Homo-oligomer: A and B are copies of this chain.
Amino acid sequence: MSVLAVTGGVGGAKLAVGLAHLLTPDHLVFLVNTGDDFRHLGLHVSPDLDTLTYSLAGYACPDKGWGRIDETWSFLKTLQDFGGPTWFQLGDKDLALHVYRTQILSNGGSLTEATKDISEALGVKHSVLPCSDDPIATIVDSDVGQLSFQHYFVKHQCRPYVKGIQYEGANRARLNENLDMATISLVVICPSNPYLSVDPILAIPNFRNFLRNPDVPVLAVSPIVQGRALRGPTTKIMTELGSTVDNNTIAHHYEDILTGLIIDEGDAKDCDNVRDLGIECIARNTVMRTIEDRVRLARETLDFGNALSN
């Protein structure tokens, strides 16, 4: 039996790395958001798949939370000299990944196949699966109009006011067919942005149905710590969407699928409210600064899952 870790990019990848330290590739599968995927400079870019793959391979740039370590920037500097678009920063090594993936897709390969090739080449042993091989596009309805996710997130640096979020294509998308749901005994929703990184995955109809299976506990690690998200636009988006930035909102958000929620120990007082929704709740240190933090929180998450399964 396997654990299925559902994750987006930076925040989720931290817990994902912890889980990968504890579980062998036979017992852990990653299901990754593709709603941020976009074409840029003719290339298929998959930011969350890449952040996770680089993180698992030990190639993630620790300072930035995206891109590769030991990156070089000749391409981008030269593109700038030509007046080309440089708002999305592509390092020379990262570019090779995008070009390689785009070639596989152009030759009729699937995103799953491309991701498998790439992660194997980077030495990743665990299965990293795009949530779907069908296109899903996270679209932000904002005060400056509809923006594709990367335009909102990177080009506009999350400045526009968010009025709503759509996951184009998700309702027609099929869950990655390489994922054998029958083998999954626990689902862990990693602490990625619920609206931007997790919901596009949950919007896939047959995945959401599966998560309602009472035999498989679904846990989430809350991305909220003491009233705010540790990084990214989660806090801002929750506020703009009219939600209180707290664990209660997170619990409500995942209410119909969640068995248990892990919140930060500083928010332990929230556990009672979460339990009132029929969701088990434990409080732990959810701030993952070091690899030890990631492995510890992963272990606590798995222990919680075991307790709920019994």
A-side interface residues toward B, CB under 8 Å?
41-43, 71-72, 74-79, 81-84, 91-93, 95-97, 99-100, 102-103, 106, 117-118, 121-122
Interface contact A83-B117, CB-CB below 8 Å: yes
- Selected from B41, B71, B82, B117, the residue in CB contact (under 8 A) with A82 is B117
CA distance A10 to B91 in the complex (A): 30
Interface contact B92-A79, CB-CB below 8 Å: no
- Selected from B81, B84, B97, B117, the residue in CB contact (under 8 A) with A78 is B97
Interface contact B103-A75, CB-CB below 8 Å: no
Known contacts A81-B121, A97-B82; decide if A75 and B92 are in contact (CB<8 Å): yes
Q: Which interface residue of A75, A81, A100 has the most chain B CB atoms within 10 A?
A: A75
Interface contact B121-A100, CB-CB below 8 Å: no
CA distance A164 to B22 in the complex (A): 62
Q: A78-B92, A83-B117 are in contact. List 20 more A-B contacts (CB 8 A).
A: A42-B43, A42-B102, A71-B74, A72-B72, A72-B74, A74-B92, A77-B93, A77-B96, A78-B93, A78-B95, A78-B96, A78-B97, A79-B99, A81-B96, A82-B96, A82-B97, A82-B100, A82-B117, A84-B100, A92-B95
**Chain A to chain B contacts (Cβ below 8 Å), 27 pairs:** A41-B99, A41-B102, A41-B103, A42-B43, A42-B103, A42-B106, A71-B74, A72-B72, A72-B74, A74-B74, A74-B96, A75-B92, A75-B99, A76-B96, A77-B93, A78-B95, A78-B96, A79-B96, A79-B99, A79-B100, A82-B97, A82-B117, A83-B117, A83-B121, A84-B100, A92-B92, A92-B95
A178 to chain B, nearest CB (A): 20
Question: Within the oligomer, what is the number of copies of this chain?
Answer: 2
CA distance A306 to B225 in the complex (A): 82
CA distance A214 to B72 in the complex (A): 55
Known contacts A93-B78, A106-B42; decide if A99 and B72 are in contact (CB<8 Å): no
Those 8 A-B pairs whose CB atoms lie nearest each other, nearest first: A74-B92, A78-B96, A79-B96, A78-B93, A72-B74, A92-B92, A82-B100, A75-B92
Interface contact B93-A74, CB-CB below 8 Å: yes
CB contacts (< 8 Å) of A74 on chain B: these are 71-72, 74, 91-93, 96
CB contacts (< 8 Å) of A95 on chain B: these are 75, 78, 92, 95
CA distance A79 to B76 in the complex (A): 17
CB contacts (< 8 Å) of A99 on chain B: these are 41-42, 75, 79, 84
Q: Which interface residue of A77, A78, A81, A95 has the most chain B CB atoms within 10 A?
A: A78
CA distance A77 to B100 in the complex (A): 12
Interface contact A72-B100, CB-CB below 8 Å: no
A103 to chain B, nearest CB (A): 6
